Structure 1
Amino acid sequence: MKTCKLFKNIVWGMTLCGALCTTSCTSFDELNTDPTRMDEVNPGTLLNPILYETSVYNWKRYNSYTYDLMQCAVSTSSTNGVGWWYMTDSEGDGTWTTYYKWINNAKEMMRLTGKLPEASKQPNYDAISLTLQCWLYQILTDAFGDIPMSEACSADKGILAPKFDTQQQVYQQIIDNLKTANELFDKANGLIYNQSGEMLYKTSKGDATGILKWKKFCNSLRLRALLRVIDVPEFNAKQELRTMLTDPATYPVFESNDDAALLAISGTYPEEAPLTRPQDFTSYVQISEFFVNLLKGWNDPRLQVYATQVTLPDQTKDYVGLPSGYQTLPSTTASGLNQEMAKAPMKLAMMPYAEVEFIKAELLKKGVIDGGSNAAKEAYQKGVQAAIEQWGQKMPDHYFENPEAAYDDTLERIMNQKFVALFFCDYQQWFEYNRTGFPVLPVGPGIANANNKMPKRFKYPSALQRTNLKNYQAAKANMGGDDFHIRLMWQQ
């Protein structure tokens, strides 16, 4: 695995440095100062690039991978892509290199904090660094399995071929590190090096509100991690979840969309939209029949956000989906994707608030936590409402009077709504499907006749065999192989 240098590939707008000279003489040092590059490094200079670049990458990966894989969108130009569960060996290469690059920069935040004088220590930067590292490490281990963690990004220590930690080790460290981060957050200090506020919660010096939201993000991620391993015997996840959810003062989690980790970008430099050309979002792709019918069955207002209408033979307009996994392209006139979703201003989902409510609903339904007879229903309804309002839609007054949308005390109903709530949230729909088997996805004839199966993971990048062969072979042996259908520890 290649280790990234601190500023390699960080492209970010910086203000002019240095003051204008008021005399006719200019010093040699000033002449040799590049006014477009930062000349001072502190933990705050790294935060916005990490937030922006990782969130943009995740949006692009949903668009190019999860969207089709999970049968939400259907390509009209090919029948051998991820929508038919054909996988290339290099499918996960970009995820590996991109995440480790930004994990390295998150770790650098802690290194810089550690170099400050004792009186200037800033625990909030350490807490945020741990939170962001855990966020990215969990996606990595859920996508690959065993990964380097304890020795990752350690070229400064002379480690150029890091060992792979097992999934159990990685998850335990994520759970422990998020607990440590929760304890480190200090609302009194804010973020002194981000005087104009960081991108996610606009936190600046002395901003207790912003730090509380970061703390909620940290603990909400910990809920996600604990739920993922709830049935893995090596973890005491159920008790940990009970401890967290019965003590909100110690472990605050998201309580509204205002708390959610949704990165707002303006669309103007340096906050440009993920796609340079929004028309690329809608080229050779249409919304799927499965996704359209799911939302139509609920009379869900999000459908107008996600898709465009078509004119039917009787001249009425409606939403019509294209069957996914087809063998021969149907002649159906299907709805396209709504191009507005690819235009800024927009919000990029790191973790939505609705996910927390659906986690609670699942735990209440399973009896892991006790909240009373209607608690699971209430959490479910809060999750649905949050997911609808996240996309700027008004919650319909009689939404839950519809039998197809009402809470029915089944995991499937919870997971179907959670599936839509995780729309455009990196790989989370894929991960949750492999954990629970929901939603029940259609397997079109093009998939069935090719005997393709839903992938469980990515293959390791081929570069590992050249640069870290010994540790790659050890990880491969521990996992039982390196193919798309190796079952990870939390998968059903």
Structure 2
Amino acid sequence: MEKVNPGTLLDPILYDMGTYNWNRYYDYTFPLMQCLVSNNGTSGVGWWNMTDSRGDGTWNTYYKWINNAKEIQRLNARLASPEPNYEAVSLTLQSWMYGILADAFGDIPMSEACSADQGILAPRFDRQEQVYRQILDNLKTANSLFDTESGLVYNTSGDMLYSTTDGEGIKKWQKFCNSLRMRTLTRLLDAEGFNAQAELQEMYDNPATYPVFESNDDAAMLGISGVFPEEAPMARPQDFTSYVNLSEFFIDLLNSWNDPRLPVFATQVEQEDGTKAYVGLPSGYLTLPAITASLPNQSMAKAPMDLTLMSYAEVEFIKAELFQKGILPGGATEAETAYKKGVQASVEQWNATLPADYFDNPQARYDGSLERIMNQKFVALYFCDYQQWFEYNRTGYPVLPVGEGIQISHNQMPRRFKYPAAVQRTNMANYQEAKKNMGGDEFSIKLIWQK
């Protein structure tokens, strides 16, 4: 029987994580961030009603695939001649998944995670500071390991993400690695005990050493054919539009920009005068308004499709923020350039065309504010796991509406997920220690990078 090699596990990790994150955006981030509105009740995350088990699937799924990513390392280490690219890819994928887990929960098992083969069945929780430092170290190590001369030798037909058969694919993996490092450092800009500004400056000053995404062709977009075994994340596309509408907040934002992504994201509805328009449903309503509102465009749930692991647009908006804040040199001029590149990249990611006069619109042009950057970044993070939620909790943008049906006396935007009940039962001592370190295990507990 043919032996399992480090390349065997790569595509299953990419496919299952890509499709899982797409579904989590639809089920959680989409309504939580007041973009998608249920028209079939006034409960759930769209009204910031959180159940304790909201993060259970994320915890279980991520640790499952982190274990598989670590197995790539273990298999590679057993080879007569270990391949540095598999070590680097494994560290990149682990960092990507650990980063989202830490952003979603806070303290998490890392140093002892996925170590049942070593007899560790109740791993200790690493503190957030330790997790982020290890992620940054791992990404820096991975960056130094990538070998563009050899490709991924065990994935002879190429991997699902970059079709890596030679060094060109490895160059893109390296850019993914460093783009993730840039994301992580930006998350930690205001966190105590980190030197994020200096590390970002080092990356910016040394682009040959730390290459990041430079175009949509570089971006970590996972192509799904729709043909077994690459089915679309949602089995029935009609479920994509069942009992939901797009929100007034989301539609109005895009309408104010005269944005070419609107027809990609939304359907039009007929008005009383016979014209068609994009109309949103107020989010967080107390009583369902008697209006006909736009649906999400069902074609977005049909394969072939691209699933966003990390977009090029996100990198440009990170740069725009760093220029705007004076963390990187260049000031308003460079901030505006990066802002425009980010908008264009996002529009083209969705196969739309940016109108020549798009930035003539006062509502769409760069106005020097962080809010303008973050509003566009918010749209650019459409269907990218939990990133809109994380960025809102980091910056406070976009300014979300709070509908009269949201009982703000006890319903607030969650800062994090609660730890799963199964973890509390099976790893009680370490859970209690994490709870003590975090200051509790509530949705309202702020993480180290949150305002």
Task: Decide: shared fold, TM above 0.5.
Answer: yes
Contact 2:332-2:368 at 8 Å conserved across structures = no
Are 2:122 and 1:161 equivalent residues in the alignment? yes
Residue of 76, 101, 104 corresponding to 2:39:
76
Deviation at 1:241, TM superposition (A): 0.1
Aligned mates of 2:438, 2:74 — CA distance in 1: 33
Residue of 319, 324, 333 corresponding to 2:283:
324
Give 5+ residue unaligned stretches, structure 2. none
Deviation at 1:246, TM superposition (A): 1.2
Are 2:137 and 1:172 equivalent residues in the alignment? no
Secondary structure in 1 matching 2:70: helix
Task: Give the alignment's Cα RMSD to 1 decimal.
Answer: 0.8
Secondary structure in 2 matching 1:262: strand
- The aligned residue for residue 15 of structure 1 is none
- The aligned residue for residue 319 of structure 2 is 360
- The aligned residue for residue 74 of structure 2 is 111
Deviation at 1:371, TM superposition (A): 2.4
Contact 2:226-2:304 at 8 Å conserved across structures = yes
Residue of 149, 172, 185 corresponding to 2:146:
185
Secondary structure in 2 matching 1:78: coil
Q: TM-score, normalised by structure 1?
A: 0.91
Residue of 95, 100, 107 corresponding to 1:139:
100
Change over 3 Å in CA distance of 1:241–1:356 after alignment to 2 = same
Secondary structure in 2 matching 1:214: helix
Secondary structure in 1 matching 2:286: coil
Deviation at 1:444, TM superposition (A): 0.1
Give 5+ residue unaligned stretches, structure 1. 1-32, 34-38
Secondary structure in 2 matching 1:43: coil
Look up the equivalent residue of 2:123 and give its one-letter code. Answer: P
- Written as runs of structure 1 = structure 2, the 5 A alignment for 1:414-429 is 414-429=373-388
Aligned mates of 2:387, 2:163 — CA distance in 1: 25
- The aligned residue for residue 36 of structure 1 is none
Residue of 28, 42, 62 corresponding to 2:5:
42
- The aligned residue for residue 213 of structure 1 is 172
- Written as runs of structure 1 = structure 2, the 5 A alignment for 1:184-263 is 184-204=145-165, 207-263=166-222
Secondary structure in 2 matching 1:264: strand
Secondary structure in 1 matching 2:218: coil
Larger CA Rg, structure 1 vs 2: 1
Contact 2:324-2:331 at 8 Å conserved across structures = no
Change over 3 Å in CA distance of 1:445–1:373 after alignment to 2 = closer
Aligned mates of 1:256, 1:177 — CA distance in 2: 24
Deviation at 1:451, TM superposition (A): 4.0
- Written as runs of structure 1 = structure 2, the 5 A alignment for 1:292-311 is 292-311=251-270
Are 2:225 and 1:283 equivalent residues in the alignment? no
Runs of 4+ in structure 1 off by over 3 angstroms are: 448-451
Aligned mates of 2:334, 2:152 — CA distance in 1: 37
Are 2:75 and 1:148 equivalent residues in the alignment? no
Aligned mates of 1:418, 1:335 — CA distance in 2: 22
Look up the equivalent residue of 2:348 and give its one-letter code. Answer: E
Aligned mates of 2:369, 2:331 — CA distance in 1: 16
- The aligned residue for residue 470 of structure 1 is 429
Aligned mates of 1:374, 1:457 — CA distance in 2: 36
Contact 2:324-2:332 at 8 Å conserved across structures = no
Aligned mates of 1:413, 1:312 — CA distance in 2: 30
Are 2:359 and 1:396 equivalent residues in the alignment? no
- The aligned residue for residue 491 of structure 1 is 450
- The alignment covers a number of residue pairs equal to 451
Aligned mates of 1:385, 1:480 — CA distance in 2: 42
